[in-house]
Amino acid sequence: MKTTQAPTVALVGRTNVGKSSLFNKMLEKPKALVSDVAGTTRDRNEGECLWRGQIITLVDTGGLDVDFADEIETNTVKQAELAIKRADVILFVVDLKTGALPQERRLAATLAKSKKPVIVVGNKGERHSERLSVNEPEWQFPNLPSPIAVSAARGTGVGDLLDVIYETLIAIGKPPVDPVTIDAINVAVIGKPNVGKSTLLNGILGEERFITSPIAHTTREPNDTLITVDDKRYVFIDTAGMRKHGKVKKAGGLEAAAVRRNERIVKLADVTILVVEATEPIGTQEKILAGFLKESGSAVIIVVNKWDLVEDKKTNTMNEYRNYISASFPFLAWAPVLFVSALTKQRVKTVFEWIDRVQTNRSFTVDQKTLNAFLRNAIVAHTPAKGKGSKPPKILGIKQVGTKPPRFDLMIKAKRTDTLATSYIRFLQNRLQEQFKLVGTPIKVHVKLATSVSK
């Protein structure tokens, strides 16, 4: 089904004027990291804002007053400029507490030449006197309207601001759209710092959507983008590089907040892409991430990046590396392994095919008759093994109780569930994977006592 594209509104301004706080308040959820540290927001951060029963797309951006001291700052400005270029309306956010700075006057002059509607927003207007200051000469920028006073921290004036935004969009023929159910596959991309996650996403999306840099921890917060390919919708989420919890705890601050947010995102993701580096050995960080994925319920694709840098490749090099992956992540043996080069875009587009495939498998259902036959054959192939207790329990049946991922209840006749060996549960999970070709999705088998089922 063809959907209407929501108009886009970009929030721009210098660092620490409260763009991310205002972004969160307008979305009514803490989507962007908020901090007193200048430069917290680096990539564009998008979200859907519902007001008056209709939707617009908001884009948060990094500060435009950086001094281009490094590659990250240069790319931050580049992302903000792209957001301005694509926006239908621009929100120029200023800080009423600090007064108009010279860099804001330069930015105001640039925005006035953009030939796009610009709404000046005076943020941090907690006090009445601060809100009244928007009428003073220092806040009157040539060819731009007087600021609308708001307080993102308290929510004061935000409703009035949204009214102006919506009226402006209607006036330029880009009206907000009716809400539609977004039937999209949520794809999280994780890996240790500087493994090439953002470069991979840029290759998949076909544009420089996410900031890339050889500096570790370039991405500080999960950033997402919604795209449509062949009438299918995908939300791709780039996440900060995840390190050992001990190191993150010591680092504290923004990095710790970013990692906690990553963990929540992976739990909500339909598909998670774990990126490893072909030219580096798999270490503790990757194993911690893989172990976390085992419990998340997300479908998993393992992407081996920088495959173009592997020297002296032979016909069996890929199979050898798959065996290495399997030995490193034995509990993710069901996950497909892809070999790509994010930089050269080698085999990057195959990622879409695998996302569709593992998501389909994650939604797998099987009828009871087929499931009964499966269990009979599995018991013949491998008799139940005992766990705690003097003998293995009798298995009475199995039934599917859910999807995303596929979940099954295994009924046994016993006084306690641990009388069946955990190794036998793994055997059934592996057998389900193999028989029904459920590559890429975890399988959950929960042991239940027959007495508790019959109640």
Q: Position 7: which residue type?
A: P
Alpha-carbon dihedral of residues 372, 373, 377, 378, nearest 10 degrees? -40
| Predicted TM-score (pTM) above 0.85 | no
Residue 4 C-alpha from the chain's centroid: 23
Mean pLDDT of the region 173-189:
78
429's enclosing H/E stretch is helix 422-435
- Residue 305 burial (C-beta neighbours within 10 Å; 0-12, 13-18, 19+): buried
CA gap 410, 445 in Å, rounded: 7
- Domain residue ranges in the chain: 8-171, 184-361, 368-454
pLDDT for residue 180: 57
Q: Position 76: which residue type?
A: T
pLDDT for residue 40: 38
Segment of 87-101, 287-301, 422-436 carrying the highest mean pLDDT: 422-436
The mean pLDDT of the chain is: 81
Band the pLDDT of 258: cuts 50, 70, 90: low
Mean pLDDT of the region 395-414:
96
Q: For 183, phi and psi rounded to 5 degrees?
A: -90, 85
Which percentage of the chain shows pLDDT scores above 70? 77
Please say if the pLDDT value at position 453 is more than 50: no
- Does the bond joining 281 to the residue before it have cis omega, within 30 degrees of 0? no
Q: Do 8-171 and 184-361 show the same overall fold? A: yes
Least confident of 84-93, 283-292, 363-372: 283-292
CA gap 220, 234 in Å, rounded: 22
Token pair 């069996």 in the structure block, residue? 316
CA gap 175, 169 in Å, rounded: 5
- Residue 353 burial (C-beta neighbours within 10 Å; 0-12, 13-18, 19+): exposed
DSSP 331: G
pLDDT for residue 41: 39
Band the pLDDT of 240: cuts 50, 70, 90: low
Band the pLDDT of 384: cuts 50, 70, 90: very high
Which residues belong to the annotated binding site? 13-20, 60-64, 123-126, 191-198, 238-242, 305-308
Q: Looking at 4-81, which runs of residues are DSSP E strands?
A: 8-12, 45-51, 54-60
CATH 3.20.80.10 for domain 368-454: no
Please say if the pLDDT value at position 122 is more than 90: yes
Residue 384 C-alpha from the chain's centroid: 40
Higher pLDDT among residues 60 and 172, named by residue = 172
Q: Position 91: which residue type?
A: L
Cβ-proximal residues to 82 (8 Å cutoff; 6+ apart), any chain? 44, 208
pLDDT for residue 3: 44
CA gap 28, 107 in Å, rounded: 28
Segment of 98-112, 186-200, 300-314 carrying the highest mean pLDDT: 300-314
Mean pLDDT of the region 369-380:
97
CA gap 113, 31 in Å, rounded: 31
Alpha-helix residue ranges (DSSP H) falling in 269-308:
284-296
C-alpha radius of gyration, the chain, whole number = 26
pLDDT for residue 266: 80
Please say if the pLDDT value at position 356 is more than 70: yes
Picking from 115, 27, 30, 41, the residue whose alpha carbon sits closest to that of residue 80 is 41
Mean pLDDT of the region 202-218:
52
**Partner residues linked to 186 by β-bridges:** 235
Q: Determine contact, residues 443/406, Cβ cutoff 8 Å.
A: yes
Which residues belong to the annotated binding site for GTP? 13-20, 60-64, 123-126, 191-198, 238-242, 305-308
pLDDT for residue 235: 78
Band the pLDDT of 239: cuts 50, 70, 90: low
CATH topology of domain 8-171: Rossmann fold (3.40.50)
Least confident of 313-327, 340-354, 363-377: 340-354
Please say if the pLDDT value at position 244 is more than 80: no
pLDDT for residue 322: 94
Mean pLDDT of the region 134-153:
92
Higher pLDDT among residues 285 and 135, named by residue = 135
Higher pLDDT among residues 295 and 431, named by residue = 431
pLDDT for residue 238: 63
Top CATH class of 184-361 equals alpha beta
pLDDT for residue 212: 42
